[in-house]
Copies of this chain bind each other. A is one copy, B any other.
């Protein structure tokens, strides 16, 4: 329970880089197949399975790996229409938007952003007209600007630097 060195609480220690060559390779392999077994990963990088498990555990504990996500097709669960909604809160309503977004099940993500519109929110509905009641809720606290998702040329992926 004791705090270790002064790592800023994020586990980033200078000198011993958490992301050495091996861990980068591990992340690449896991990114390509998040369900790959530790034994499989171990084979591909020429290490023992326990060693790989140990590294994965550390990557998870330190927050490099935030988690694993299930990618469900929204259309398959009855929500074929997606829209991005920008919300500009009225005076004093800023705090309500995020709370509201979190409570609406059709919202799949919500970002606080810089600029005139303070929030960027992704909404999934069964049909276009079903967006109305969702927008109405946000309109209690501000103005909205909606754009339907027509296609997704680049589906969510892990970014790479450089």
Contact = CB atoms under 8 A, between A and B. Distances in A.
Interface of A: 1-2, 4, 10, 12, 18-19, 27, 30-31, 34-35, 62-79, 84, 98, 101-102, 105-115, 117, 120-121, 123-124, 126, 145-162
A11 to B, nearest CB: 9
Given A34-B68, A115-B145, A126-B161, 10 more contacts: A2-B78, A27-B77, A102-B154, A105-B160, A106-B159, A106-B161, A107-B154, A109-B152, A109-B155, A117-B147
A-B pairs with lowest CB-CB distance, top 4: A98-B153, A110-B154, A105-B160, A113-B147
Most B-side CB within 10 Å, residue of A27, A123, A156: A156
A98 B83 CA distance: 18
When all copies of this chain in the complex are counted, the total is: 2
A105 to B, nearest CB: 4
A146 to B, nearest CB: 8
Contacts of A123: 159
Contact of A69 (B19, B78, B146, B156): B156
A26 to B, nearest CB: 10
B66 A73 contact: yes
